Every structure is written in C-alpha cells, then in structure tokens.
Chain A
Amino acid sequence: MPDIKVTPLGAGQDVGRSCILVSIGGKNIMLDCGMHMGYNDDRRFPDFSYITQNGRLTDYLDCVIISHFHLDHCGALPYMSEMVGYDGPIYMTHPTKAICPILLEDFRKITVDKKGETNFFTSQMIKDCMKKVVPLNLHQTVQVDDELEIKAYYAGHVLGAAMVQIKVGSESVVYTGDYNMTPDRHLGAAWIDKCRPDILITESTYATTIRDSKRCRERDFLKKVHESIERGGKVLIPVFALGRAQELCILLETFWERMNLKAPIYFSTGLTEKANHYYKLFITWTNQKIRKTFVQRNMFEFKHIKAFDRSYADNPGPMVVFATPGMLHAGQSLQIFKKWAGNEKNMVIMPGYCVQGTVGHKILNGQKKLEMEGRATLEVKLQVEYMSFSAHADAKGIMQLIRMAEPHNILLVHGEAKKMAFLKDKIEQEFNISCYMPANGETTTVTTNPSVPVDISLNLLKREMALGGPLPDPKRPRTMHGTLIMKDNSLRLVSPEQALKELGLSEHQLRFTCRVHLQDPHSDTDTLSRIYSHLKSVLKGYAVQHLPDSTVMVESIVLKVSSSAEEPDLKVVLLSWCFQDEELGSFLSTLLKKGLPSAL
C-alpha cells in the first residue's frame, strides 16, 4: 500500500522552528523553514543533516513551502538555501515574499551587528534566497512538476498567511501553518473547502483554550484609551512591528473617525513604515470591510496616525503612541515609558505576553519601583493595562477547520505536548479519525488507499448501460466484464474483443465438458425428450431447443444422451458449455445430477 510519511524537524510537540518534511507519492516537500527564538546555538535552526549528511539538499527535496512571514516559520530559509544548499523552488504567497526579506534582514542585523555573531547568513544570501522564491496566489493550483501540485488557501493570522494543499495523484496533505478562525479588524477568517485530504497537519497553539468573544476585548481597549485621552493623559502602546500593530491601528483609526476625536496618534517609524506600505498594497488579503471600502479610501492610509518623532514625546496634551518593541525591554518604547511613567494620568497598554525579566513583565506584575541602569529608580505612577490580542485558532476553531476540510488523518504540530494530547483525545473522540502528534525527528507513516483512475472505453460503457438499469447509481458499486490493459503507464478497460484485436491475439475457445450419470429405464431418445421437458419446465425464459440430431441446446449448451450396451439403464448425459456460459452450465450439471423427477 502507498503511504505518506511526515517528519517534523521542528515544531513537533513544540512551538517555534517550524519545519516539517512530507514524503508523498515519491515526492519530498519541506513545509516551513523556521528558527527558534529561544536558542542562540545550533538548536536555533532545524537539523538539516537529517535529510542528508553531506552535500546539497536539492537532490532530496522537490520543493519548499513557506506559510507566512513570521521568523519561526521562515527564519532559517537563507541558511538552508544558501549555506546548506538548496536550489529548488521555494513557494510563498506574494505578501509573504514581500515582507519576509525585511524581517530576515532585521533579524540578521540584530544577530550579527548587535550580538556580533559570525558564521551567519549575509544580506546577499537573503537576496539570493529570495530569487528562488516562486509566488503563489490564493486558490491557484501550481504544478511543481508533472505530478506534484500545490494550492494555497486563506489562513488569517497575518497578512499573506496561507494554508497549503499538497497533492500527488489522489493523495493529498493539507498544512495549515498558523491560522485564525475568527476574523479581526484587518484580516478575515481562515477558510478551506471540503478537500478531504489524507492528512491535515494543523497547528495547535491554543489546543486547550476556548476564547471569549473578541468584541469585549476590543471594547475594553477602546474604552480605556478613550477615557485616558479625555483625561488629557498620554497612552503608550508597545507593539511588535507587524501583525497586531496593524490591527490596533485600524481599531484606533476607525474609532477616532467614528467619535470625531482630535488627539494625535503616532507610530514609531522604522521597520513598520515599510511594512505598512505592503499592507496598503495587498488589500485583497484583508477582511471584507477593508476590501470593500478601499476604493473610497484605503484603510491603511491612516488619517489620524502619523509618524512619530522623538521630540513629540514631550509635547503637552493627550496623545497615543505605538512604539516598538513590545515588551518594553529596550528601544523607543522604553524611552517613552521612562518619560511618561511619573504621571498618573498616563497609561501604558501591553497588548501581548511579556517574557520574564523585561520591564513589561515587571510592571504587569504590579511593581511600582523600577531599577534602571546606574542606580536610578523609576516610580511607576501611570496606569498599566493588559490586553491580549492573539491570532491563533482556539480549540473550537481547530475543530471547526477539521470539520470544514474533513481529513482522513490529523497530525498536530506547533503546540505543547500536554495540550496536544488533550486535543488529540478530543479529535479521536469527536470525529473518530486517527490523530498523530510526532515529536521532532519522529516519523509518522500513514497508509493511504488511493483510487487508481482507469480509462474505460465508451463502447463498453454503453453496452453495460444498455444491460443495466436506467441510471447508474453512484453510491453503489457495480460489476462488469472487461479486459484491463496496462500499457505505457496507462490503464484502460476495454471489451475483450477489442483487447484481442489490439494485442493481435486470437481468441481461445474454452469449453467444459462433463458427464452426468443418470439412472433411467427409458430409451435414449425418450430420456432426451424427458430431459428436454424437464429443463423446459425449470428454465423458463431461456431458449431450450430439441434439435433433430438428438441433442438438446440450452442457449449454447449442448446436451447429449448415450448409454452403453452393458448397462442400458445407466444413461450418460454429456454436457458441453463454453467459458462464457460457465454459470448456466454448472447449474445444469448440478440440476441433472439430482436426477429427473419421476413425474415425467
């Protein structure tokens, strides 16, 4: 039986470093090529030596597919393609292709220029790598080669995030990447059709969470900002450059528009400006509202949100500032925070999770005095709010996607083992399909039962149609006679005559003969006529003939009666039928073996 093999090199029972190898129908595909944020050594990148110990990967991989631009999904790409060596195609969507190099370059700068690491990929490598990228459109089927085809579906999550269907023949795998089943202010919800893949590889970040409606969160957020502005306070929102920042911008922008507010909103420049540019361009990847109204006005061309300048922080009056980075550990957001922390009218809103040790984490835990570099302490008087906005599907969303796609098997990646186990149980219980959660380096094999398409000759089909009922019932299998010809890598079902003709063979007649002994006191001719009348009575609807040359023909089956001189009562009935009439022939022989009824 053919099978599909899936091996996670990263993201197996883990979050980060997504990299999954799939072998399907003789093709090898790498899904995502990410890095791990938590490590600074070799564990940072997936272990490509799993594929081959030495040499390039090109010979072993048919293609690489990147689901979206987050670094834990694409961070190792230049390393893999340029330093390990891969020249095959890399597939990603247009927005991903546009934004990915910006993030990679930023990442490179931080590691090489700031941390001083050597033996890291260079800017040129990123450029070379991006040259190998083939862009994908939504719902466009791309032929990687003659047999392998891939198709992208919308995944929500971030701009350009996609789920990918990989198909070889009738076997298919769907990889979700990261996705979001609830729409937000700038992106829609993930959607897939009922493609019934053999394996659905899904993320499971929130395997054990069912989230509240996003509306309360949004309302709370807006209310807090609004109240603070009305008091004349300043609001600081530390964000990471891409993704949530845009959502919050849209949220504030529309709110300002609706409420006719005048207080300025600033966005710290840099990376974000470039990214915002792409958000403006890729309108088709956003949600219904933005898509429909962009003709009048592109929502990403913010009216109220302006670029931030360092000097603005000291301006009097209320304002809202988005600043990077998101955890208040360095950079502009921390500088602004220091300036504003002393005033209780001001507010800081943390829109995401903060790692331990960062200023963000400390203030969230209610610390009122912070120690800064050089002995100075900072009193925190401003209000600290926490607001979580996340763009992963929750447990219900994952189940919903499974219901949409109706896969035969499920494989969980990108989540914690313990949480996965819970979801695995649930999936097996609710859908009654098998679910896997391999660890990194562990291979899962799923046997498939692909259907083999066979060309059937039209004549044969028509003949069968004429024999059978009015309409073929698609739900029920039906047997038919024909000859299967396997030639030149193609399968055809034709009628036997045609097969003989095509192959230049002559037909062999196959006849079965059989003797049946009967005890009958009558003469041969009488016996024959008795047999004749018996058969006539039993086989209604069949042509039973008594021929003058003392034979009985039932359709094409010949019956003869003879007896030896020694035992005139023991009649030997000779039955002869050809292979096609096997059924009737064997029926007749058993019938005759039972003897003739005495009534005749």
Chain B
Amino acid sequence: MAAHLKKRVYEEFSKVVQQLPHEEVPAKKLRLTKPSKSAALHIDLCKATNATDALQYLLNFARKPVEAESVEGVVRILLEHYYKEVDNSVRLKIASLLGLLSKTAGFSPDCIVDDVISTLNNDKSKQVLAQLLDTLLVIGTQLPENIAVTQRLIDVACKHLNSTFFGVRNKCLQLLGCLGTVDKPLTKESETGPSASATPPRDVPSLISDYFSDQDPRVRTAAIKAMLQLHERGMKLQQTVYNQACKLLSDDYEQVRSAAVQMVWPFLMAFIVPIPSSNEEIRLVDDSFGKICHMVSDGSWVVRVQAAKLLGSMQQVSPHFLEQTLDKKLMSDLRRKRTAHERAKELYTSGEFSSGRRWADDAPKEKVDTSGVNLIDSGACGAFVHGLEDEMYEVRIAAVEALCSLAQASPSFAEKCLDFLVDMFNDEIEEVRLQSIHALRQISTNITLREDQLDTVLAVLEDSSRDIREALHELLCYANVSTKECIQLALLELLKNLTKYPTDRNSVWKCLKFLGARHPTLVLPIVPELLSTHPYFDTPEPDMDDPAYIAVLVLVFNAAKSCPTMPALFSDHTFRHYAYLRDSLSHLVPQLRLPGRKQVAGTSSETSGVGAGSLESAQHFLQESLARVSTLQNLDSPGAQELLHFTIRDLQRLGELQTDLAGSADFCATYLHCQLLLMKALQEKLWNMAVPLCLKQNAMASTAAQQILEETYKLEFLYSGLESRQVATIHNVRLQAKALQLILIARTKRGVEPLLALCEKFLQEVEAFQRLFITELPHFQDSFVEKLLELMPRLVACKPLDLVKILQTTLRQSRFIHLKLPEQIHRALATIIEPTGESDNPLRFTSGLVVALDIDATLEHVQEPQTVVKVQVLYPDGQSHIIHPKPGDFRTPGPGRVRLITQVYLSHSAWTEPCQIEVRLLLAYSSSSSKLAAPKPAWNESMEGLPTSENLIEGTINLSKPVKVFIMPKPARR
C-alpha cells in the first residue's frame, strides 16, 4: 500500500517533494516500525552480557505497547531466550511478559499454550514455575470458550498442586478457581497421570477443599478464594465446604479468617431451606449469621470490618436473631439490668423525662438464673453493640452501614436500631457521625421519632461542621415525628441553628418546608403560637427580612397547603407576607388556595390544570417543530432561514416554560442555531466575488464558523444522555464548520505551505469520524460526511486547492441532517449560591498575600465533576486564573446533584479602589475524554506511544453565570 501510494505521489506531484509526509498516514508509520521492534528486542537480548542487562532491556521493552500482529513474533523471540537463559529472574520476567502479551487485544494466545506448558515441565526454579502458572492463568482467562485448553490447564494445575513451594500451590489453586468446572469430574487426570491411578476421580471443589488444611496460611487463603471464585462462576457449593469454612473462622492467621468470613456468606444465598442439625432446627442462614456476628469481636480489625460489612447483606435472617444483635443482655452482679435505651423509653412512656437525677435508677432488678447465662456462645448477641463501639472507625462505619441496610429491609428492626444510630451521632470521628446521619435518613421512612429521640438528634444541629448540619437538615426533611411538641422543638432548634450559623439559611428553610408539608395536622394547633397572633389584640407586624420569621412562615405555609382550615388563622399581614414570599422565594412557598384572593386562586387553578397534561403537550410540540424543520431538504431553499429562526425562538421559550424538557429544547435550539449560522455563511453571494473585495463578508463567515465550532463543543460536552448517533451528528456539523474555515483560509492566505498541514489535519479528522462512528454511517445518507467519505480516495490524492474546491461544492450540496432526540437530555448546570454578589463591603487584604473566598455552588447533571469542573477568577485587568477544586470539595447530597463547597485563593497587587472580580464555574473538556474514544489499551504503562495527543482538543465551557465579588488589595504597610 505504501509503495503504491508513493508511486502515485511521484507520478502526480513530482515537483512537490514536501508533500510526502502529508500523504503518510500515521497508521502506516506504525507498520513500518513493527518488524524492527521485535528485531530490536532480539538484538538487545543478544547483546546483554549479564542477567542485569537483560532484565533492564526487558523492563524497557515492557513499557511500550506491541501491536496484535507482531505479538506472535515477539513471543517466539522471548521463548527462544527463555530456553537459553540461566538466570531465574530473567526467566521470571520473560514469563510475566508472556502473560502480559497474551492479554493484547486481537491476539489469540492458544498458540503459546503448548510452549508454556512444556517450559513449565522443564523449569526447576519455583518462582519461575509460579510465574508461568500465572501466565497460564492469563491465557486461560483469555480463552474461556476453548474447552480443550481449559482442560489441559486444569490438568497442569492438578499436577503441580503438590509442589513444596507455596507460590506454585497458590497459583494452581487460582487456576482451578478460575477455570475449574464442577460438573466435570477430573477423570482425565487420573487416566493420564500414571501416579494418580490409585486415587478415585475427584471434582474440583473437593480437590480445592483439601487445601483448606494446608500448612501454609497463604495457600489456605488461596484455596478459599479459589472456592469463592468457583461460586462466583455459578458452581453450587457443597454443604461440607461450609463446615470446613466455619472451622477456618478460627484460624491463626488474619488473612485466612478474613477470606473465610467471605466464604461463609455465599451459603446464605445457596441454602435457605431449613436443615436439621443435631436436635433443634436452625436455618443455615441463621447459623452463619451467628458465626459472622461472632467475628465482629475478632482480634484483627480487618476481619471485623469484613464481618460487619457482611452482616448488612444478610437480609433473610429471622427477626428473632436479628434483634439479638442489638441486645447485649446486660447484667450487673448477676442481676438483670435494663439498658439505658429501655429506661429512656420507659421514662418517656410514663410521662417523665429522663432526668438521670436519681442515683442508681439503673439499679439492677431481678436476679438472673446463673445457668441460663451463657457469656460467649450466644452468637449473635450484641454483635452490633460491639461493632458500634469498636476502637477502629472503619469497623464502626461498616457497622453503621450494615445496620442501615438491615433496617431498610425490616421496619421492626429499624425501630429497634434507631437508638443506636442516634447514639452514633456523638462519635468522636466526624466521618462516622456523618455516616450515621445518612443512615438514619435512609431508614427514616420506616420510623417515627419519639420526642426524646428527636431531642438527641436535634442536639447535633449545633455542630460546628457544616456537613454534619446539612446532613441533619436533610434528615429532618424526611423524618416523621409524633407530636406537635416535636414540631415545636424542631423549629426552636432550627431557629437556634439559624442564629448561630446564619449561612445555613437556605438549608434551614428547605428543611422547614418539608417538615411543614409532612406534618400539616401537627402544625395546625400551634399556628397561633407560631405567628404570635392573639384572638382579641393586634400584635405588631414582624420584620419581613428576619430570616427566622421567614423560616416560621415557610413552615406554616407548607403545612397550610394540605390543610385548608389553616389560612383562617392568619392575620392580615400574613397574607401580605405570603404574596411577597410567594414571589421572592417561590421554590419554598407553595401555591395556596386563599379565600378572597381571586387572582391567586385563578392562577393556581390554571397551573394545576396545565400541570398534568402540559408535559405531554410540550413534548408533542417539540416533536412537531422538529418535524417541521425536517421538511427542509436543502439549506438553500427559500424561507428556510425564517423557519429556522422561528423554531429556535419557539424552542427556547419552551425550554423556559417546561423545565422537564429544558435540556432537549435547548439542545435542539442550539443545533438548529448552528445550522442557521452555517446556512447564512454559505448563502452569501461572496463566494463568487474576488478575494480582495469581500474582506468584510469573509470576516462574518469566519466568525460564524468559529461560533459553530464553539456551539458544537457545547452540544457535545454540556449535555448528558446523548447517544452515539447524536454525537455523530454534532461531529458532522463540526466538520462542516472546519471545512468552512479551511475554505476561508484558502481564499485569504497566499501560498500552499500553511494550507498543506491544515488539509492533512482535516483529512485525518474525517478519517477519525469514520473510525468512531462506523456504525452510525447508515443514518448519514447524503450528508456532508458521507459525501466526503465517498470522495476520500480522490481527496487524499489531490492538491490542496482542488481539495478546497471539492469541499466548497460538497458543503453547499450536502443535505441537512435531522436531529433525532434521545430519551432524556440534561443540560449541565451550575449555580453559585455563595458568594451572592450582593455585598457592597469589599474583601480587604494585603496585596501580595492571599485571601480565601468561600464558594458554594450546586451542580446538576455534571458527569465526573471532580475532573471537569474548574473555577475561573477574572480580575478587572483581564488576568484570569483557573483553579482546580480538590476532589474532596465535591459532595453528593442526592442523585444527579453535586455540591461544590470550596475555597478559592485570591491574590493581586495593590489597587487604589475596590473593584469587582468575576468568579464563574467552567466545564473543562477534551475531545479525547469523549465517551466514544477508543478503549484504553491493555498495557497500563504504555501511554507515550499512543496517537492521542494529535487530535486532542481541550477547552472550557462556561457552566454558570459569573458572580461579582468586591475585593480590595491594599499595599502592605511598612
């Protein structure tokens, strides 16, 4: 191919020698280097005089990727050297390289199985043997369908199982775990192996289970893992294995115990049927639950974490057992004692608060029957109590998570574990506190908080950590409370919180909104008190700007929504305040049906009527307008521009009206806008004019091209939920814009040299399009891209100026591609909550030093915000800084929503006057990070040789409106 090309090049462009590189496509370059790669390796290895050198060469070699076609050759060379090599470490490296190579996509490793197995039989070094088995494992996993190879590998593994080196045994067990099958007993092995003739045919699980009692803990661990692997691959495990695993739970080694804990778990799923043990019936799931509960008080914290995590996944355990995990069976001096939780509940039900004032109110009551108490074997007893007060916070977190997932499954358990979760609010580590608040939120649908419990929960509102407070607000949004006193208590504490931490304003209001909406009947009796109205006297009108008063109103109005009798209790100014708040804080204050307020009532009925059907009709409208546009066949047709104009306007308005469809509507509008711009740029009469005469028009067209390009990047990266087809459409538009740019450059610039590189680049992009969207091509009939691809052979061969001409005609002739909407499109959106930009007090700091600016923003529908979202600071002198927030600054309060709370450091030299800087969020993109980029190569370290850097385009899109902040750097005083 290359030779053929060259010939053509010389025929046609004999004068232009520089064009050679232009015609060389990068893929072909690679092919030229390929043979040299394996050859170079060969030479290197021959050159190596000692083992260290050889090892160094191999290490260097491993850093570069090898193409699928040349793998075979490389493998041969490696094997050749392998046979010659004396040094163990070099052989080991070669063996590991073989494994790496066989992972190369597109290479089928069955051809090297024989070689590896034969070397396996000859090698003496145990480490090398282990590595070779590892290589076989890789090969085996690459060829899951090839039964013959699998069977051979299993035989090999069985043969080496009795090696004296633990590593070899480990690898054999791994092999068996990954490849072994249960249904097929290993009869073959007994036939072929002469020594094994005496042993009866064994199946893989029983073979593996032999190694449960191996002398080496590492082998025992490997055996358990292999068994687990078998289970994961869908093999049924035997009852006997369970008993063996239980024995391993008391192993001396931490890693074995840890693996054994995992081993016990699958049995829960496997055998739920009751099985008779000795004389009483205990379900297997209960039995293993008890065993794992036991492990929560293991000596090693790794095992404890493991066990605590597993507890959460055991949802079929009988409630009787489950409840025991929360009961430690307290006693004092052999007399039964009630727990503090029980006492608190009793006090509460008896109508008295827990005063704790009396000494010995925890005095033990009845005497315990000594024979009835068993201190240790009660299995599940108090497992969670232990887990929650463990020394390591990892264990505590795991226990909280487990509690949460168990409670979600069982409401009665949720009721019981509530006290324990509330207790965790007081943990010494913030992470644990946060986790337990989240856990409580997740189960709060199942429970109703008692007054004393709520009291404890609310105490956390004074926490100085913002995360904790906000998590608690979130929790209160979902919490059910039992009495009106609870509401009062909650309101009181929230108001206290508001005065202590005024920044929590929004969060507190939102919390009260849900609290009110959830408990209208509880709010009703306390409304007069809340609004401080009096049956006879007029009370002074409260200050409308007081956040606390707003908070109360939010609570009341939301309660009033489902409680029609409530507005009767409002005083006049309340109605006025309602109207004001409904306008200013519409997201917090709902529509109310107020008597005597016609205009309000009117609009409310209207909106409620529209509410149900409007989404459908809007959808319908969207589809219709798209269909209308799709009648446009050609960009030149008359009236097309007007139609596009109107449709764009309609769509934009639709997006404003119907928030659910905003994403789709915006997307369509932007796309159509691109088309419109393109249309305008092409329709100009300027194309027939001489170059020098049309500078102005040129400028206009080039700005259009630039704008289209920007818009396409927005289309591609700002919207989530796009399918490959839409992305292809966007790319098509982008190519069109690029072609336009190319034409403009060709017209304005003199000389061929700069044009050459541009043409080459353009052609590469067209090829890239073909590579990426090969499956989508059928949808692109008569499109720009399709025509280009048809003409590709000609384009590759022709001169730049011809190319430009061809492009020009294709651009004008190509059909308009209709946008097909995917299911859901969301536009990435960010709002900066803080700074608000309203402050008139400048932020003063000494110039040359830094000042920290707190930024609080919410992000919606941004994928992987940690990597793409940046903060831009624009100084009045045009300087701009881009700051990458730490990954830890992103919090996820809910699905699809991300909260960014970060600090931005500002600094500048001195100013004379306070000035405003602009802060905004940016979305960084790079075309290589596009979802459709080629999959990553199997070689991890091989990033250097990849052609990614060539057509990598990086840029940023504005994600939020800029916020202005007054700052004032002062000169330092001497």
A residues within 8 Å of B by Cβ?
182-183, 185, 188-189, 191-194, 208-220, 222-224, 226, 254, 257-260, 287-289, 364-366, 383-386, 395-396, 399-400, 403-404, 419, 422, 425-426, 429-431, 470-471, 474-475
- Given known contacts A188-B391, A257-B464, is B359 in contact with A209 (CB within 8 Å)? no
Closest to A183 in B: B391
Contact of B370 among A216, A422, A474 (CB under 8 A): A422
B residues within 8 Å of A by Cβ?
162, 164, 213, 215, 252, 297, 299, 328-334, 337, 339-341, 354, 356-360, 370, 373-377, 382, 385, 388-393, 420, 423-424, 426, 428-429, 456, 459, 462-465, 500
Contact at B423–A216, with CB atoms within 8 Å?
A: yes
Closest to B501 in A: A260
Q: Which residues of chain B are within 8 angstroms of A366 by Cβ–Cβ distance?
A: 358-359
Interface pairs A-B: 5 shortest CB-CB: A216-B340, A183-B391, A215-B423, A386-B359, A399-B376
Contact at B459–A425, with CB atoms within 8 Å?
A: no
- Given known contacts A366-B359, A396-B375, is B500 in contact with A260 (CB within 8 Å)? yes
Q: How far is the CB of A55 from chain B (nearest CB, A)?
A: 44
Contact at A212–B464, with CB atoms within 8 Å?
A: no
Q: How far is the CB of B263 from chain A (nearest CB, A)?
A: 20
Closest to A396 in B: B375
Q: Which residues of chain A are within 8 angstroms of B164 by Cβ–Cβ distance?
A: 471
Q: How far is the CB of B372 from chain A (nearest CB, A)?
A: 11
Contact at A213–B388, with CB atoms within 8 Å?
A: yes
- Given known contacts A191-B299, A288-B392, is B376 in contact with A212 (CB within 8 Å)? no
- Given known contacts A223-B459, A224-B356, A386-B360, is B426 in contact with A289 (CB within 8 Å)? no
Q: How far is the CB of A285 from chain B (nearest CB, A)?
A: 13
With A216-B339, A219-B426, A220-B340 already in contact, 13 other A-B pairs whose C-beta atoms are closer than 8 Å: A210-B328, A213-B388, A215-B420, A216-B341, A289-B428, A366-B358, A395-B331, A396-B376, A399-B375, A403-B376, A430-B374, A430-B375, A431-B376
Contact of A213 among B162, B328, B331, B356 (CB under 8 A): B328
Contact at B456–A219, with CB atoms within 8 Å?
A: yes
Contact at B334–A254, with CB atoms within 8 Å?
A: no
Contact at B426–A218, with CB atoms within 8 Å?
A: yes
A208 to B426, CA, bound (A): 29
Total cross-chain contacts (CB, 8 A): 128
Q: Which residues of chain B are within 8 angstroms of A289 by Cβ–Cβ distance?
A: 393, 428-429
Q: How far is the CB of B458 from chain A (nearest CB, A)?
A: 11
Contact at A384–B333, with CB atoms within 8 Å?
A: no
Contact at A419–B333, with CB atoms within 8 Å?
A: yes
- Given known contacts A215-B388, A430-B374, is B334 in contact with A422 (CB within 8 Å)? yes
Q: How far is the CB of A428 from chain B (nearest CB, A)?
A: 12
Q: Which residues of chain A are within 8 angstroms of B389 by Cβ–Cβ distance?
A: 182-183, 213-215
Q: Which residues of chain B are within 8 angstroms of A219 by Cβ–Cβ distance?
A: 423, 426, 456
Contact of A259 among B299, B354, B385, B463 (CB under 8 A): B463
Closest to B341 in A: A216
Closest to A383 in B: B357
Q: Which residues of chain B are within 8 angstroms of A260 by Cβ–Cβ distance?
A: 462, 464, 500
Q: Which residues of chain A are within 8 angstroms of B328 by Cβ–Cβ distance?
A: 210-213, 396
Q: How far is the CB of A262 from chain B (nearest CB, A)?
A: 11
A404 to B300, CA, bound (A): 10
Contact at A192–B299, with CB atoms within 8 Å?
A: yes
Q: How far is the CB of A256 from chain B (nearest CB, A)?
A: 10
Q: How far is the CB of A462 from chain B (nearest CB, A)?
A: 12
Contact of B374 among A209, A385, A429, A471 (CB under 8 A): A429
Contact at B428–A254, with CB atoms within 8 Å?
A: yes
Binding site of B, secondary structure by majority: helix, strand, loop or mixed? loop
Closest to A429 in B: B374
Q: How far is the CB of A407 from chain B (nearest CB, A)?
A: 14
Q: Which residues of chain B are within 8 angstroms of A208 by Cβ–Cβ distance?
A: 331-334
Q: How far is the CB of B366 from chain A (nearest CB, A)?
A: 14
Q: Which residues of chain A are within 8 angstroms of B356 by Cβ–Cβ distance?
A: 220, 224, 385-386
Contact at B252–A258, with CB atoms within 8 Å?
A: no
Q: Which residues of chain B are within 8 angstroms of A288 by Cβ–Cβ distance?
A: 391-393
A194 to B423, CA, bound (A): 33
9 A-B residue pairs with CB within 8 Å: A183-B390, A189-B391, A192-B299, A213-B420, A216-B339, A216-B423, A365-B359, A396-B375, A430-B376
Q: How far is the CB of A465 from chain B (nearest CB, A)?
A: 10
Q: Which residues of chain B are within 8 angstroms of A425 by Cβ–Cβ distance?
A: 370
Closest to B364 in A: A209
Q: Which residues of chain B are within 8 angstroms of A188 by Cβ–Cβ distance?
A: 391
Q: How far is the CB of A296 from chain B (nearest CB, A)?
A: 13
A290 to B359, CA, bound (A): 32
A560 to B565, CA, bound (A): 125
Q: How far is the CB of B861 from chain A (nearest CB, A)?
A: 35
Contact at B391–A222, with CB atoms within 8 Å?
A: no
Q: Which residues of chain B are within 8 angstroms of A404 by Cβ–Cβ distance?
A: 299
Contact at B393–A211, with CB atoms within 8 Å?
A: no
Contact at B162–A471, with CB atoms within 8 Å?
A: yes
Q: How far is the CB of B748 from chain A (nearest CB, A)?
A: 62
- Given known contacts A289-B393, A426-B373, is B464 in contact with A259 (CB within 8 Å)? yes
A430 to B370, CA, bound (A): 13
A182 to B390, CA, bound (A): 7
Q: Which residues of chain B are within 8 angstroms of A223 by Cβ–Cβ distance?
A: 456, 459
Q: How far is the CB of A408 from chain B (nearest CB, A)?
A: 16
Closest to A215 in B: B423
Q: How far is the CB of B403 from chain A (nearest CB, A)?
A: 13
Q: How far is the CB of A401 from chain B (nearest CB, A)?
A: 9
Q: Which residues of chain B are within 8 angstroms of A215 by Cβ–Cβ distance?
A: 388-389, 420, 423-424, 426
Q: Which residues of chain B are within 8 angstroms of A226 by Cβ–Cβ distance?
A: 459
Contact at B339–A212, with CB atoms within 8 Å?
A: yes
Q: How far is the CB of A418 from chain B (nearest CB, A)?
A: 9
A290 to B215, CA, bound (A): 39
A395 to B381, CA, bound (A): 14
A214 to B427, CA, bound (A): 11
Contact at B359–A213, with CB atoms within 8 Å?
A: no
Q: How far is the CB of B108 from chain A (nearest CB, A)?
A: 36
Q: Which of A215, A474, A475 gathers the greatest number of chain B CB atoms within 10 Å?
A: A215
Q: Which residues of chain B are within 8 angstroms of A475 by Cβ–Cβ distance?
A: 213
Closest to B338 in A: A212
Q: Which residues of chain A are within 8 angstroms of B456 by Cβ–Cβ distance?
A: 219, 223
Q: Which residues of chain A are within 8 angstroms of B459 by Cβ–Cβ distance?
A: 223, 226
Contact at A470–B162, with CB atoms within 8 Å?
A: yes
- Given known contacts A183-B389, A216-B339, is B332 in contact with A222 (CB within 8 Å)? no
Q: Which residues of chain B are within 8 angstroms of A384 by Cβ–Cβ distance?
A: 357, 359
Q: Which residues of chain B are within 8 angstroms of A183 by Cβ–Cβ distance?
A: 389-391
Contact at A210–B330, with CB atoms within 8 Å?
A: yes
A468 to B490, CA, bound (A): 78
Closest to B195 in A: A470
Q: How far is the CB of B166 from chain A (nearest CB, A)?
A: 12
Contact at A395–B462, with CB atoms within 8 Å?
A: no
A384 to B389, CA, bound (A): 28
Q: Which residues of chain B are within 8 angstroms of A403 by Cβ–Cβ distance?
A: 297, 376
A419 to B341, CA, bound (A): 27
Contact of B464 among A182, A194, A258 (CB under 8 A): A258
Closest to A254 in B: B428
- Given known contacts A208-B334, A400-B297, is B426 in contact with A222 (CB within 8 Å)? yes
Closest to A395 in B: B375
Closest to B378 in A: A396
Contact at A259–B334, with CB atoms within 8 Å?
A: no
Closest to B373 in A: A426
A365 to B373, CA, bound (A): 32
- Given known contacts A216-B340, A289-B429, A471-B164, is B331 in contact with A194 (CB within 8 Å)? no
Q: Which residues of chain B are within 8 angstroms of A471 by Cβ–Cβ distance?
A: 162, 164
Q: How far is the CB of B399 from chain A (nearest CB, A)?
A: 12
A488 to B429, CA, bound (A): 60
Contact at B299–A194, with CB atoms within 8 Å?
A: yes
Contact of B329 among A210, A364, A385 (CB under 8 A): A210
A429 to B500, CA, bound (A): 58
Contact at A193–B423, with CB atoms within 8 Å?
A: no
Closest to A212 in B: B339
Closest to B422 in A: A219
